[in-house]
A and B are shown apart, each in its own frame.
Chain A
């Protein structure tokens, strides 16, 4: 029962990339010592920033709530260790937009003192599914695969649909990243327990754990744990090592053989995808009462002296983690958060580790690629596109800034995996173009919304002015008719009143 199965759907395109994962998986997960200062951004998730609930100078314990979820899409932030809040100020962070973001800075006291009253529920079946979802919301748990979508909101959205499958994503298809691999090797029990919690919260009976074929040790660990657990609802599926099979929609296609509709969600076809790291974090929170305050991350690349996987507290500055991994080598040139395909490069290692950071990649000088040449319409990009888009056509329309054509050709479905860049014989940075075009869509939509708002306010104002004028006119007419009908006595009265008013002024 617990041996991995292989019945899979078919994924279009994709690439077999060199993994570069063996160096970082040679040793067990190492624990980074507590840093002196922890820097916790209040936005570590997709959605609205969390609202700080602590003041400067306040003493906090490990796991204490620092900022609470605010708005319909948000996640709370907890203290990663005990210490004193010394500042709430902008700090360099790794985000897609903007360089500095408000952060809560904690000076650690080194005691790592936990909260007194941990709310642990080892027997999670006691909790109703709704109560479980609510608990997950409070744990600050977000999708740890890199998208950092607040998990509770994802689950709440999903339970409103008819669900068939829970899919745990252990497919770490991007080169260099190996944190989920190491997590499954060392914490397979936690992952499975997280899967059981999710199955209970969602009230469904099938969970597929998808793992790539290049992780035999992780698969073996999961198989062993599953044999111990004996839960027939959980099935292991081995998927081929093709980038980007770990993308959410791609994994649904592979594992459940269902296609997620354009601008739809996996829940539209009855699937819910969660990263294995998220499942393990849910276990830690529900069963042990520990909120998401640390994560496993891969420190690797040819710019790192001892590549390895580390468990570090959220908020640890990257410099401390890099130093722990032996520091930079002499040829270290670029620092990237995430993988080489979809990661974001940062300019300083003062940036803290956040919930999204699955990899700290330090690379030497990138190999020189040729200069950009005109598109020769070879169609290689269309062959590898996992969404079956026509990148060459999209590029054409992106150059012309033609929004309607771009939408028609499905730009909004592009997952920016970067496969088309790699195969382009003309070295056209296609993904960068698409990213710019998407940002432009947003800009245009904002502009349109602003114009619409200004127009409605302008029209409302004109209507108001007209109404006021009308009211004044009718009042004047009223007064005129009254004056006409008035006799001499009333006129004398009115004159007296107006004289008195003038005297008063």
Chain B
């Protein structure tokens, strides 16, 4: 009788502890978003269709969006995402250039319109209104978001060794 009571008591305690943990500890979803975000290259280029790397990470976790939409990350990132999420490795939806590149402004032609400065997701372009702009090469992620807004087409991408 004592044995039965002891085991039943232990089972009850364990059950209570588990249900408490289930209710009060935070769900793991946001952790997973962070883990996915860690694997993304943080270029913030929006080529995946989401406004930055973290939104894409959230979309992968929450709405099962495909994991092969990140050209800057390359096949390597797809492979690691597949590892993490237990999905199949897919070929990249869009191929990327082989080497890392950064934007460069042709400073002769720049008219100082500030459009590129506004577009840069990592604040890597400096310059005042009507004055020449320049790219902080060390901070540029090569996301290409500054190229389209430029009214005089003076921004190009340059490979870094």
Complex Cα–Cα for A330 and B113 (A): 66
If A453-B139, A454-B141, A458-B52 touch, does A447 touch B41 (CB 8 Å cutoff)?
A: yes
Dominant secondary structure of chain B at its interface with chain A:
loop
B122 within 8 A of A: yes
**Contact flags (1/0) for A426-470 with B, using CB distance below 8 Å?**
000000000000000000000100111111011011100000000
Complex Cα–Cα for A372 and B121 (A): 49
Task: State which residues 34-76 of B face A: CB under 8 Å.
Answer: 37, 40-44, 52-53
**Contact flags (1/0) for B2-43 with A, using CB distance below 8 Å?**
000000000000000000000000000000000001001111
Residue contact B139 to A458, C-beta cutoff 8 Å? no
B residues less than 8 Å from A454 (CB atoms): 41-44, 122, 139, 141
Residue contact A457 to B122, C-beta cutoff 8 Å? yes
Complex Cα–Cα for A450 and B100 (A): 11
B residues less than 8 Å from A453 (CB atoms): 139
A residues less than 8 Å from B123 (CB atoms): 457, 460-461
Residue contact A458 to B122, C-beta cutoff 8 Å? yes
B124 within 8 A of A: yes
Residue contact B42 to A451, C-beta cutoff 8 Å? yes
Complex Cα–Cα for A458 and B53 (A): 10
Closest to B79 in A: A401
Contact of A451 among B41, B52, B124, B139 (CB under 8 A): B41
B interface residue count range (under 10 / 10 to 19 / 20 to 34 / 35 or more):
10 to 19
Complex Cα–Cα for A447 and B42 (A): 10
Can you give 27 A-B contacts (C-beta < 8 A)? A447-B41, A450-B42, A450-B141, A451-B40, A451-B41, A451-B42, A452-B42, A453-B139, A454-B41, A454-B42, A454-B44, A454-B141, A455-B37, A455-B42, A455-B53, A457-B123, A457-B124, A457-B139, A458-B42, A458-B44, A458-B52, A458-B121, A458-B122, A461-B121, A461-B122, A461-B123, A462-B52
A residues less than 8 Å from B52 (CB atoms): 458, 462
Task: State which residues 123-161 of B face A: CB under 8 Å.
Answer: 123-124, 139, 141
Task: State which residues 453-489 of A face B: CB under 8 Å.
Answer: 453-455, 457-458, 460-462
B residues less than 8 Å from A451 (CB atoms): 40-42
Complex Cα–Cα for A36 and B121 (A): 55
A residues less than 8 Å from B53 (CB atoms): 455, 458
**Contact flags (1/0) for B111-125 with A, using CB distance below 8 Å?**
000000000011110
List of 9 A-B pairs having minimum Cβ-Cβ separation, nearest first: A451-B42, A457-B122, A454-B42, A455-B42, A458-B44, A454-B141, A461-B123, A454-B122, A458-B122
Complex Cα–Cα for A450 and B124 (A): 13
B residues less than 8 Å from A447 (CB atoms): 41
The count of A-to-B residue pairs whose CB atoms sit within 8 angstroms is 34
**Contact flags (1/0) for B90-119 with A, using CB distance below 8 Å?**
000000000000000000000000000000
Q: What's the minimum C-beta distance from A456 to chain B, rounded to whole angstroms? A: 9
Complex Cα–Cα for A455 and B36 (A): 13
Q: What's the minimum C-beta distance from B45 to chain A, rounded to whole angstroms? A: 10
Complex Cα–Cα for A452 and B37 (A): 10
| Further 14 A-B residue pairs, CB within 8 A, beyond A455-B53, A458-B53 | A447-B41, A451-B40, A451-B41, A451-B42, A454-B41, A455-B37, A455-B42, A457-B122, A458-B42, A458-B44, A458-B121, A458-B122, A461-B121, A461-B122
A residues less than 8 Å from B139 (CB atoms): 453-454, 457
Closest to B136 in A: A457
A residues less than 8 Å from B37 (CB atoms): 455
Complex Cα–Cα for A450 and B139 (A): 8
Complex Cα–Cα for A457 and B44 (A): 10
Complex Cα–Cα for A476 and B44 (A): 31
B residues less than 8 Å from A455 (CB atoms): 37, 42, 44, 53
B residues less than 8 Å from A461 (CB atoms): 121-123
Complex Cα–Cα for A450 and B122 (A): 12
Q: What's the minimum C-beta distance from B48 to chain A, rounded to whole angstroms? A: 14
Complex Cα–Cα for A447 and B53 (A): 15
Closest to B39 in A: A451
Complex Cα–Cα for A458 and B124 (A): 10
A residues less than 8 Å from B40 (CB atoms): 451
A residues less than 8 Å from B141 (CB atoms): 450, 454
Complex Cα–Cα for A313 and B24 (A): 74
Complex Cα–Cα for A429 and B140 (A): 38
Complex Cα–Cα for A90 and B56 (A): 45
Complex Cα–Cα for A76 and B141 (A): 35
Q: What's the minimum C-beta distance from B101 to chain A, rounded to whole angstroms? A: 13
Q: What's the minimum C-beta distance from B93 to chain A, rounded to whole angstroms? A: 20
A residues less than 8 Å from B42 (CB atoms): 450-452, 454-455, 458
Complex Cα–Cα for A410 and B52 (A): 37
A residues less than 8 Å from B122 (CB atoms): 454, 457-458, 461
Q: What's the minimum C-beta distance from B122 to chain A, rounded to whole angstroms? A: 4
Closest to A452 in B: B42
Complex Cα–Cα for A452 and B122 (A): 12
Complex Cα–Cα for A462 and B44 (A): 12
Complex Cα–Cα for A451 and B100 (A): 13
Complex Cα–Cα for A450 and B141 (A): 8
Q: What's the minimum C-beta distance from B135 to chain A, rounded to whole angstroms? A: 13
A residues less than 8 Å from B124 (CB atoms): 457
Q: What's the minimum C-beta distance from A441 to chain B, rounded to whole angstroms? A: 14
A residues less than 8 Å from B41 (CB atoms): 447, 451, 454
B residues less than 8 Å from A457 (CB atoms): 122-124, 139
Complex Cα–Cα for A462 and B40 (A): 18
Complex Cα–Cα for A447 and B41 (A): 8
Closest to A444 in B: B76
Complex Cα–Cα for A460 and B139 (A): 13
Closest to B143 in A: A454
Max chain B Cβ within 10 angstroms of own Cβ: one of A452, A454, A460: A454
Q: What's the minimum C-beta distance from A73 to chain B, rounded to whole angstroms? A: 20
Complex Cα–Cα for A392 and B40 (A): 32
